[in-house]
Amino acid sequence: MGKIKVLPDQLSNQIAAGEVIERPASVAKELVENSIDAGAKRIEIHFEGGGRRLLRVADDGEGMARDDAILAFERHATSKISRLEDLFEIRTLGFRGEALASIAAVSRVELVTKCDDEPHGTRVRIEGGKLRDVEPAAHPRGTTITMRDLFFNVPARRKFLRSEATESFHLTNLITHYALAHPEIEFTLINNGRETLRAAPALDLRERAYQIFGADFIENLLLVEGGERGSAFVRGFVSAPRERRTSRDAQYLFVNGRFVRDKLIARALSEAYRSILPHGTYPAALLFLDVPFDEVDVNVHPAKIEVRFRRPELVAETIREAVRAALHGAGYVPLAVAPG
Ligand code: ADP
Ligand code: MG
């Protein structure tokens, strides 16, 4: 008798879920990205118990037909890529076709959706990866996904969830990122029945930043714009030197519209402030870097928060110079970045 066994689907889905789904905010990330990919104009996020007990994302995007609504929960089921070449030119936030399968493997999920092609909507219920039922349901065009009891069937992971306050903080931070990246979309965040963030559709990033951070923050921002369109171009805002902070928490970095945690960009930003900000302090920043889709690999990590650039030095230089120019324009520094 051999010793090797192929794991049953449910178990392999749970293992895969471990890579993508770490906490309620990771579920929110996947669901909100799906809403954005579906062309939503309004996204409402509702959570209870820090998202551990309940997390609901409702959108007015294109919705799904009945058969797709069931298929969507299969692993590697995606409408976003179909050929290997697509992988090198990713324009959507999702593409792995893993998120819904992973979420459903470790929680109780209810999806209600309706698309224009069908006269009525569909409700699908899945618990711990097991399809419970599929039935017709009323819903306006769009999709509402409710996740309950995260890790109810994976006690080892449930143990690692943090307090309600910590998980709420992560969720709020995440939604803030998406709201900044998509001023044109209306975002509403409701925590235990209380609306904690509401951003009506905005004209541009400045208006959206005003909605989220308030007037004081906006007044101290310097406009950043520089680089070369089609190779590396950065736009956004950085704070004036007097606005310094003791952590990088107020740095919101995006690459091709996707928010990232990127040491290269963070370092280039710090370099631009060298000799202006005391050691151990950081500027606030909202920076959007655009590079050609084939110059950045977003497929580094399942959670897609890290990226790899084909020309890292070009990216660093673009950021450094654009930020330096903004500081210079406001009279803070000479234009050249001091060597060293
Ligand atoms: P991916 O986003 O990588 O394709 P997901 O597991 O997140 O994989 O979703 C699977 C598929 O389900 C998507 O490709 C999309 O076709 C569909 N889908 C998921 N969420 C939504 C939504 N909110 N609105 C419309 N379609 C959706
Ligand atoms: Mg997705």
Residue 286 CB less than 6 A away from ligand 1: no
pTM: 0.87
Q: H-helix or E-strand containing 230?
A: none
When pLDDT is averaged across residues 55-67 and rounded to a whole number, the result is 97
Greater pLDDT, 303 or 133 = 133
Domains identified in the chain and CATH numbers: 9-199 (3.30.565.10), 220-329 (3.30.230.10)
> Has residue 9 got a pLDDT over 90?
no
Task: Tell me the per-residue pLDDT of 88-114, one tens digit each, with 9 for 90 and over.
Answer: 666 777 777 889 999 999 999 999 999
**How many CA atoms within 13 Å lie on the side-chain side of 224?**
28
**For residue 253, what pLDDT is reported?**
94
Residue 102 CB less than 6 A away from ligand 1: no
Residue 35 CB less than 6 A away from ligand 1: yes
Task: Tell me the per-residue pLDDT of 235-264, one tens digit each, with 9 for 90 and over.
Answer: 999 999 888 889 888 899 999 888 888 899
**For residue 12, what pLDDT is reported?**
80
DSSP code string of 138-192? ---SEEEEEEESTTTT-HHHHTT---HHHHHHHHHHHHHHHHHH-TTSEEEEEET
Contact (Cβ atoms closer than 8 angstroms) between residue 118 and residue 66 = yes
With a CB cutoff of 8 Å and minimum separation 6, the contacts of 142 are 38, 40, 58, 59, 60, 61, 62, 63, 113, 114
Residue 96 CB less than 6 A away from ligand 1: yes
Q: Provide Rg for the chain, Cα atoms.
A: 21
Q: Which residues surround ligand 2, an ion (CB under 5 A)?
A: 34, 94, 99
Rounded distance between C-alpha atoms, residue 249 and residue 246, angstroms = 9
With a CB cutoff of 8 Å and minimum separation 6, the contacts of 191 are 47, 48, 168, 171, 172
Greater pLDDT, 217 or 130 = 130
Please name which ligand lies nearest the alpha carbon of 81. Answer: 1
Residue 304's pLDDT band (boundaries 50, 70, 90)? low
Residue 18's pLDDT band (boundaries 50, 70, 90)? confident
Distances (CA, A) of 103 to 110, 198, 218: 11, 26, 37
The SS3 call for residue 300 is coil
Please report the atom of ligand 1 found closest to the CA of residue 59.
23
Q: Is the ipTM, as predicted for this complex, more than 0.85? A: yes
Please report the atom of ligand 1 found closest to the CA of residue 97.
8
When pLDDT is averaged across residues 22-37 and rounded to a whole number, the result is 95
